[in-house]
Structure 1
Amino acid sequence: MRILLRVLAPLISLAVAALGLLLVVEVVAAWLSPGTGAGLLVPWRDWHTTVATVRWTAAPVLWIAVAAIVVGALLLAVGLLSRRHDIAMTSPSPGLTVATAPRVLARLVGSRVRALDPVTAASVTASARSVVVRARGRGDGGELRDESRTAASGVLDALPLARRPRLTVRADPEQPGTSKGVR
C-alpha cells in the first residue's frame, strides 16, 4: 500500500497543480478581455448553459456522485492502510516509545536460525502479530524444526517486545543434490 501511496501522491499533486494553473490562465484571460465569458481554454458559457438545464436527480449527476464517493473511499482506504507497521517494544522509561521495523526482527531471527549447524537456508517474515520461519537443512525435519524453533524463541524472548508475536516454524530436510553452497 505504501508503494501505491507513493505513486498516487505525486499524480494527484500534479493534477491539482494543473487545475490551479488552468484556473490562473482563465482568470488572467477574463481580466484581459472582460465581458466575453467564453473562456480561453474552457468553454465556460457552454458549460453554464448545460449545467443550468440538468437537474440534481438526473442519472449522469447521480453516477458522477457515486463515482466521486467510490474514488474518495478508495483514496481514504489507501491512506489509512499504508501506515507503518512497526513492532512495539517495552518502554525503558515513561514517556519514551520504542519500536522496531519488522524487517529488523526478521533479520535477527533469520541470522540466529541460519547460524545453526544443520540449517543450510532459512527465510523469515515478521510482523507485529507473527513470525514465520522457513528453514531447510540437513537431517530429520522434526529435529530441524525443533532446533529452529528453539533458536527463534530465544531471540524473541531476549528482545523486550511489548507483545510476543506468534512463532511458526516450517522445516524441510534438504534433498540430496539441491544444496546451493557449501557451509
Structure 2
Amino acid sequence: MRVLLRTLAPLLGLALAAVGVLLVIEVVAAWVRPGSTTGIVVPWQAWQATLRDTTWSDRPVLVVSVCVGVIGLLLLLVALLARRHDVPLTSPTPAMTVSTSPRVLARLVGRTVRASDDVAAATVSASARRVVVRAEGWPEDEGSLKETVRARTDALIDDLPLARRPSVAVTTRSRKEPR
C-alpha cells in the first residue's frame, strides 16, 4: 500500500499543478484580451452554457458525483492502510516510545538462524505478532534441525526488549547434497 500511495501522491500533485497552470494561462489571457469570448486552452464559454442548462438531478451529474465519491473513498482507504507496521520495544522511561521495523527484526532472526552450522539457508518474515522462519538444512536429521532453529529463535526473541512477544513458526526442509 505504501508503494501505491507513493505513486499516487506525485501523480495527484502533477494533476493539480497542471490545473493551476491552465488557470493561470486563462486568467492572464482574460486580462490581456478583455473582450474575447473564448479561452485560449479551455472553452469556458461553451462549458458555462452547458452547465447553465444542467441540473443536480441530471444523470451525468449523478454519475460524476458517485465516481468522485468512490475514488475519494478508495484514496482514503489507501491512505489509512499505508501506515507503518512498527514492532514496539520496551521503553527505558515512560516518556519515551521505542520501536523497530519488522525488517530489522527479520534480519536479526535470520542472521542468528543462519549462524548455525546445520542451517544451509533461511528466510524470515516478521511482524509485531508473528515471526515465521523457513530453514533449509543438510539431510541428516530434519527433526533436530527444527528444534535447533526454534531454540535459537526463541532465545533471540527472549533476549530482545520486545514489548509483546511474537509467536514463532518454524518450518524446515532438507536440502539436497551437492553432487
With the shorter chain as reference, the TM-score category is: over 0.9
C-alpha displacement at 1:26, in angstroms? Answer: 0.6
Q: Which runs of 4+ in 1 moved over 3 A?
A: none
Unaligned runs of 5+ in 2: none
Aligned partner of 2:160 in structure 1 is 159
C-alpha displacement at 1:177, in angstroms? Answer: 3.1
Aligned partner of 1:181 in structure 2 is none
1:10-33 Cα offsets, whole Å, 9 max, x none, are 111111111001001111111111
SS in 2 for 1:164: coil
Residue pairs, 1:31-180, within 5 angstroms: 31-138=31-138, 139-177=140-178
Measured in 2, the distance between the counterparts of 1:27 and 1:81 equals 40
Letter in 2 for 1:84: R
C-alpha displacement at 1:37, in angstroms? Answer: 3.7
TM-score, structure 1 normalization: 0.92
C-alpha displacement at 1:115, in angstroms? Answer: 1.1
C-alpha displacement at 1:114, in angstroms? Answer: 0.8
Measured in 2, the distance between the counterparts of 1:144 and 1:59 equals 67
Once the two structures are aligned, what percentage of the paired residues are identical? 53
SS in 2 for 1:162: coil
Residue pairs, 1:21-40, within 5 angstroms: 21-40=21-40
Unaligned runs of 5+ in 1: 179-183
Verify the 8 A CA contact 1:149 1:169 in the aligned structure 2: yes
Residue pairs, 1:1-40, within 5 angstroms: 1-40=1-40
Letter in 2 for 1:131: V
C-alpha displacement at 1:36, in angstroms? Answer: 2.7
Verify the 8 A CA contact 1:30 1:37 in the aligned structure 2: no
Letter in 1 for 2:173: D
Measured in 1, the distance between the counterparts of 2:62 and 2:169 equals 50
TM-score, structure 2 normalization: 0.94
1:91-116 Cα offsets, whole Å, 9 max, x none, are 11121111111111011101111111
Letter in 1 for 2:12: I
SS in 1 for 2:92: coil
Measured in 2, the distance between the counterparts of 1:174 and 1:162 equals 36
Measured in 2, the distance between the counterparts of 1:35 and 1:164 equals 74
- Give the superposed CA RMSD: 1.3
Verify the 8 A CA contact 1:89 1:98 in the aligned structure 2: yes
